Amino acid sequence: MNYSSILVFFKDQDKEYVGFATLPNQVHRKSVKKGFDFTLMVAGESGLGKSTLVNSLFLTDLYKDRKLLNAEERITQTVEITKHTVDIEEKGVKLKLTIVDTPGFGDAVNNTECWKSVADYIDQQFEQYFRDESGLNRKNIQDNRVHCCLYFISPFGHGLRPLDVEFMKALHEKVNIVPVLAKADTLTPSEVKKKKIKIREEIEQYGIKIYQFPDCDSDEDEEFKQQDLELKESIPFAVIGSNTVVEAKGKRVRGRLYPWGIVEVENSAHCDFVKLRNMLVRTHMQDLKDVTRETHYENYRAQCIQSMTRMVWLDDTTVSKKHPETVWGSER
């Protein structure tokens, strides 16, 4: 091979492989090094199994030091917002998980506007992020924005209660709401089916905008499309939580032991727990974060900038009325 043919050979090689195909690996390595974070809010009346479900979802005891109030204390209690953070690691991938709970929600005798403190909390996190982002040091911003809110619906009512409608309508433009039908083991399969249809109809009827799963691409395989359809039809996810491990058919499983049998949390014939966990952790965590950033936070940011501009404009007109000589182009 002479010199010119060697050059041609390398040119051809170069054409075939420049190296940018490694870009996804570089991004992957960088994000794994940085770690991931996710903030999940749980809301709904107390006693619906929120803390049990969170513990079952992430296999951690996030509520070690929870203090339960008695009936008298709960009458006057206002909604409190609590935050628990855990660092979990799986195969070298680190996740900083923050659970925001809303104890006291729906507990008082008068629950009018009890969604307000939850809405204020979400706004405060947006405000903090907006400040940090507009500040001098934007490198290490701590992101406390809420990426998803699991809203627990009681299995004992006939569909949604007024409080559920009020809460979801007040928050649907601030956070991704994922409704769940709590304690599904208290219902028969046909009751679960009927309740789901009723709740979906009511969500539509009241114009509640819950989190929408993104449409899957047309080139996805049929199995994936089927799974996607099933996921959309599972709303509200019928869930069961348990903090105990029981023995079922020779296997140790997370479940609830009743005199008539065992309800297995991770058995998809018993409930939608696995579907919910897969959606939250394996398939849609990044989309929930993207929608939070691109839609909910963007809306907040736009409103903020609009009201800031209006204030500056009002200030300017006040100055120009008081001191017309300071305004450019005004007659002296």
In the complex with ligand GDP, which residue's Cβ is closer, 237 or 300?
237
The residues near 285 (Cβ < 8 Å, ≥ 6 apart) are: 36, 38, 147
Q: Output the smallest distance, CB 54 to ligand GDP, in A.
A: 8
In the complex with ligand GDP, which residue's Cβ is closer, 263 or 288?
263
The DSSP element (H or E) to which 298 belongs, if any, is helix 298-322
Angle at Cα 93 formed by Cα 82 and Cα 18, nearest 5°?
Answer: 135
Q: Output the smallest distance, CB 118 to ligand GDP, in A.
A: 15
In the complex with ligand GDP, which residue's Cβ is closer, 121 or 152?
152
Sign of CA dihedral 290, 292, 293, 295: positive
**Contact of 132 with 141, CB cutoff 8 Å:** yes
**Contact of 253 with 244, CB cutoff 8 Å:** no
What does the alpha-carbon distance between residue 311 and residue 294 come to, in Å, rounded to a whole number?
25
Q: Output the smallest distance, CB 72 to ligand GDP, in A.
A: 17
Q: Output the smallest distance, CB 114 to ligand GDP, in A.
A: 15
DSSP H helices, 182-297, are 189-205, 222-233, 273-277, 285-291
In the complex with ligand GDP, which residue's Cβ is closer, 174 or 183?
183
Give residue number: closest CB to ligand GDP: 49
Name the DSSP class of 189.
Answer: H
In the complex with ligand GDP, which residue's Cβ is closer, 47 or 324?
47
Q: Output the smallest distance, CB 80 to ligand GDP, in A.
A: 13
Which amino acid type is present at position 18?
A: V
Using CB under 6 A as the criterion, which residues of the chain lie in contact with ligand GDP when the complex forms? 46-52, 183, 185-186, 240-241
The DSSP element (H or E) to which 52 belongs, if any, is helix 50-58
The residues near 4 (Cβ < 8 Å, ≥ 6 apart) are: none
Q: Output the smallest distance, CB 117 to ligand GDP, in A.
A: 17
Taking each continuous run of H as one helix and of E as one strand, the counts in the chain are: 11, 9
CA distances (Å), origin 331, targets 269, 278, 314, 323: 80, 68, 21, 11
In the complex with ligand GDP, which residue's Cβ is closer, 17 or 260?
260
Q: Output the smallest distance, CB 93 to ligand GDP, in A.
A: 28
In the complex with ligand GDP, which residue's Cβ is closer, 58 or 300?
58
In the complex with ligand GDP, which residue's Cβ is closer, 234 or 320?
234
How far out from the chain centre does Cα 311 lie? 33
Q: Output the smallest distance, CB 164 to ligand GDP, in A.
A: 14
